[in-house]
Structure 1
Amino acid sequence: MDLPVLWFAIVAAFFVGYFVLDGFDFGVGMALPFLGRDDTDRRVMINTIGPVWDLNETWVIVAGACLFAAFPEWYATMFSGYYLILLLILAALIARGVSFEFRHQQKHLEWKRRFDLMIIVGSALPAFLWGVAFGNVVRGIPMDAGHNYTGTVFDLFNPFALLTGVATLLVFFTHGVVFIALKTEGEIRVRARRLATRAGVLTIVVAAAFLVTMALERATPTSLVLSVVAALALVLAVLCTVWGREGRAFTLMAVTIAAVVLAMFTAVFPDVMPATNDPANSLTVANASSGTYTLTVMSWVALVFVPLVLAYQAWTYWVFRKRVTRAHVTAAAH
């Protein structure tokens, strides 16, 4: 495997990590109005991701940094063409992070409602817009010979990209609700399991439409196999939720997201950004990558630090592995 292909795989792996981990954060935030019957319920839900949400978000920073260093042409085209989408994602992530830290600073309900709304919007908007962005990676965008995006922002909201956005939003929502069921006890756990089952049925329908459309839009044998894996994992995740196996359901949801992301990357390979107007203008792994020296240095750095990051994240999840209950939240408030 040559270095550009290796770093294409590494970038894909970082995005898999981001969408699996921050995906359930988005789902928890979006579930606030559906499961949070009172402030204590909402605090329980937020506390399920409280120790890890900021750590989960760092995966997208690392993914963006790797994209910038390993594939500067890809980074430049994507960030200039997707400028408004990425700006909205950034603003939403900032609003969500601020809300997690500030909602408990005042006891007034109106104060908390406003920050809860910011959490909901700050979770739903990125969940949808990330799907729109990656839908356009699969579909391709119009580019000139200099790899500059030649379309408008409205062209990015095409039917396939919108379908991808709805699919990612629903998958993340279901992923988050399953996580709530996994991390809580009592009535909220029962309600989360019920909501995950209902949302899961809708998610299966939309995800099936997306996977079929993606296969018709652009596909390789590997992406087709991964799409089948994603579909089976999603169905099994919903069934495990019905059976009360939240741990298995959560694992299967993670497999679903990972398989879908990898299917999207392998569907375009060896392109990284296909050009819809002229295939000669497409960005590929070869013409978008940095030089051999840069990729070699990055490879040695990744070999040292990626295992450390994974070990630290695993340790964090182990430390905060226990379920969150209303009694714990109430006791902490006093």
Structure 2
Amino acid sequence: MELNVLWFILIAVLFAGYFFLEGFDYGVGVLVPFLGRTDTERRILLNTFGPFWDGNEVWLITAGGALFAAFPHWYATLFSGFYLALFLILVALILRAVALEFRHLDESPGWRRFWDGALCFGSFLPSLLWGVAFANLLKGVPINAEKQFVGTFFDLLSPYTLVGGLALLFLFLMHGALFVALRTEGELEDRAKKYASPLAVLAMGWVGLFLLLSLRVVAGKPLALALFLLVLALLGGSYGASRANRSGWAFALGGLSIVFLTFGFFSALFPRVMVSSLNPDWSLTVYNASSSPYTLKVMTVVALLLVPVVLLYQGWTYWIFRKRVTIKDLHY
């Protein structure tokens, strides 16, 4: 296998891991003001993902670094064209991190409600914008012959891309509700389960609509079409498991739907990495946007040495904090 193709696959894996892990962080963050009826319940919700969220973001940092080193032309065009959207995601992530750190500094209800709202917004906006961004990669954006983005921020907004954003948002909300059901007990667990089923229905509806609108894009891409159909099957299985009170299976199947949706995106793109809406011949591909073979060889060696260490460390973290969070775990 050519190294540029290998790194395209590795970047797809990194984004799939990011969306799976950070997806439930985002989902819980948006749901905190709705699931948590008391301050104690909201504190429990924050503790469900508190030990993991910053480690989960390492996947995004790694994906961005891999994109920069392996496909510098893709990185340059993507970050220049999607600059405002990516800037808004960055601001939202900063707001989210500040909310998690500042919330406990004052016990007044108004202070905590403000930061709960900031956490909700800081989780909602990236969930929506990541879907919009990836939908634009499939739809195509104005790129000229010099591999430069020549559009504006508003060129990225269309009914199709907004449907993609809502599809990913509701996937994350379902994922977050099921994560809470696995990590809590009592009334909070029961409430999360009640939210999970309708959120699964909404996720199926928006994802189904997005895939229907994407049929033109996946025409002639049998692997992408098969992956997208698998996503719908997994969502159906997650909904059925949720209704049967099998939260573990529902979470696993819902998480896999996020993973295979990401793989479907990249499969539909390949061998392109960014599609030019002005002229298909001006699209960026894994061949004309990649680094030199020597750079890719060095990156491959480094990845083989360091990625297993990161995986072991993150796996250890999840094992240590695997138990359900209860009121006894809160420190007053």
Q: Same fold (TM over 0.5)?
A: yes
One-letter amino acid of the structure 1 residue matched with residue 114 of structure 2: R
Q: Which whole-Å CA distance do the structure 2 matches of 1:176 and 1:187 have between them? A: 16
Residue in 1 that maps onto 2:199: 199
Residue in 1 that maps onto 2:54: 54
SS at match of 2:214: helix
Check conservation: 1:138, 1:218, Cα contact below 8 A: no
One-letter amino acid of the structure 2 residue matched with residue 19 of structure 1: F
* TM-score of the pair, normalised by structure 2: 0.98
One-letter amino acid of the structure 2 residue matched with residue 204 of structure 1: M
Q: Which whole-Å CA distance do the structure 1 matches of 2:62 and 2:27 have between them? A: 22
SS at match of 1:216: coil
Matches within 5 A, 1:66-145: 66-145=66-145
Count of aligned positions: 331
Q: Deviations over 1:112-163 (max 9, x none)?
A: 1111111000000000000011110111111111111111111100111111
Matches within 5 A, 1:165-204: 165-204=165-204
SS at match of 2:277: coil
- Among the aligned pairs, what percent are the same residue? 49
Q: Which whole-Å CA distance do the structure 2 matches of 1:247 and 1:306 have between them? A: 27
Q: How far has the Cα of 1:239 moved from its partner? A: 1.2
Q: Are residues 1:313 and 2:305 paired?
A: no
Matches within 5 A, 1:271-282: 271-282=272-283
One-letter amino acid of the structure 2 residue matched with residue 268 of structure 1: L
Residue in 1 that maps onto 2:238: 237
One-letter amino acid of the structure 2 residue matched with residue 291 of structure 1: S
Q: How far has the Cα of 1:198 moved from its partner? A: 1.2
Q: Which whole-Å CA distance do the structure 2 matches of 1:238 and 1:316 have between them? A: 29
Residue in 2 that maps onto 1:161: 161
Check conservation: 2:4, 2:70, Cα contact below 8 A: yes
* TM-score of the pair, normalised by structure 1: 0.98
Residue in 2 that maps onto 1:293: 294
Q: Which whole-Å CA distance do the structure 1 matches of 2:59 and 2:193 have between them? A: 28
Check conservation: 2:241, 2:249, Cα contact below 8 A: yes
Which sections of structure 1, spanning at least 5 residues, go unmatched? none
Check conservation: 1:177, 1:196, Cα contact below 8 A: yes
Q: Which whole-Å CA distance do the structure 2 matches of 1:308 and 1:212 have between them? A: 40
Q: Which whole-Å CA distance do the structure 1 matches of 2:245 and 2:308 have between them? A: 33
Residue in 2 that maps onto 1:215: 215
Residue in 1 that maps onto 2:268: 267
One-letter amino acid of the structure 1 residue matched with residue 130 of structure 2: W
Q: Deviations over 1:162-191 (max 9, x none)?
A: 110010010001100100001000001001
Q: How far has the Cα of 1:203 moved from its partner? A: 1.2
Q: Deviations over 1:73-116 (max 9, x none)?
A: 00000000000000000000000011111101111111111111
One-letter amino acid of the structure 1 residue matched with residue 90 of structure 2: L
SS at match of 2:216: helix
Q: Which whole-Å CA distance do the structure 2 matches of 1:311 and 1:212 have between them? A: 39
Q: Which whole-Å CA distance do the structure 1 matches of 2:329 and 2:313 have between them? A: 25
Residue in 2 that maps onto 1:254: 255
Q: Which whole-Å CA distance do the structure 2 matches of 1:215 and 1:262 have between them? A: 16
Which sections of structure 2, spanning at least 5 residues, go unmatched? none
Check conservation: 2:218, 2:225, Cα contact below 8 A: no
One-letter amino acid of the structure 1 residue matched with residue 20 of structure 2: V
Q: How far has the Cα of 1:217 moved from its partner? A: 2.9
Check conservation: 2:70, 2:296, Cα contact below 8 A: yes
Q: Which whole-Å CA distance do the structure 2 matches of 1:327 and 1:194 have between them? A: 24
One-letter amino acid of the structure 2 residue matched with residue 131 of structure 1: G
One-letter amino acid of the structure 2 residue matched with residue 308 of structure 1: V
Q: Deviations over 1:283-333 (max 9, x none)?
A: 00000000000000000000111111111111100000000113432xx22
Q: Which whole-Å CA distance do the structure 2 matches of 1:34 and 1:237 have between them? A: 22
Q: Which whole-Å CA distance do the structure 2 matches of 1:82 and 1:115 have between them? A: 28
Q: Which whole-Å CA distance do the structure 2 matches of 1:141 and 1:10 have between them? A: 24
Q: How far has the Cα of 1:215 moved from its partner? A: 2.2
Q: Which whole-Å CA distance do the structure 1 matches of 2:202 and 2:134 have between them? A: 21
> Which deviates more from structure 2 when the two are superposed, residues 14-23 or residues 214-223?
214-223
Check conservation: 1:68, 1:75, Cα contact below 8 A: yes
Check conservation: 1:139, 1:218, Cα contact below 8 A: no
